[in-house]
Structure 1
Amino acid sequence: MANLVPVAKTVGANRIVPTISIPYPLGDPNTSKQEQFELRYHRVGIALKALATDIKSQTVFRVDM
């Protein structure tokens, strides 16, 4: 999981899951606790799928919600 996708690409990360922002990579303090939970649950789920996905080259996974 990376909040700076271009940096992750440059250093050679093979699986990249974009996060929200630098100070709050998996949340937004301006939202309710339920919304934060749903956002985190969704992103971590994508990260787990990324780990289980067979890839041949560097891949940035989509995080549509």
Structure 2
Amino acid sequence: MGKEIERSGIPVVVMCNLIDVAKTVGSNRMVQTVSVPYPLGDPEMSPEDEWALRKHRVAIALDSLTDEIQEPKVYPTKL
């Protein structure tokens, strides 16, 4: 579905835990999430740290939408 949306000129970013699967289905922009049951969180973190983690990952995803890409890219997510 993301490929069809991109064909119409709208950039798409896939946020997922399984980057290899995203590559296999042809995603162009990929952001690694934390885990399958908690894609943008970690229940073992303090609420403040978890909020910072979520905000950081979403910011990376939003920034990736402005990039002109020639080949699939996985964006780094280190804090």
TM-score, normalised on structure 1? 0.96
Of 37, 48, 65 in structure 1, the residue corresponding to residue 62 of structure 2 is 48
Moved over 2 A (4+): none
Q: Any idea what SS the aligned residue of 1:20 has?
A: coil
TM-score, normalised on structure 2? 0.80
Q: Any idea what SS the aligned residue of 2:70 has?
A: coil
Identity among equivalent pairs (%): 51
- Structure showing greater radius of gyration is 2
Q: Deviations over 1:5-60 (max 9, x none)?
A: 00000000000000000000000001111011000000000000111111111000
Of 32, 52, 59 in structure 1, the residue corresponding to residue 73 of structure 2 is 59
User: Is 1:33 matched with 2:47?
Assistant: yes
Q: Give unpaired runs (5+ residues) of structure 2.
A: 1-14
Instruction: Read off the aligned partner of 1:34 and give its amino acid letter.
Output: E
Name 2:38's counterpart in structure 1. Answer: 24
Q: Give unpaired runs (5+ residues) of structure 1.
A: none
- In 2, the alpha carbon distance for the partners of 1:4 and 1:25 equals 10
User: Is 1:15 matched with 2:3?
Assistant: no
Q: How many matched pairs?
A: 65
Select the structure with the greater relative contact order (CA < 8 A; seq sep ≥ 6): 1
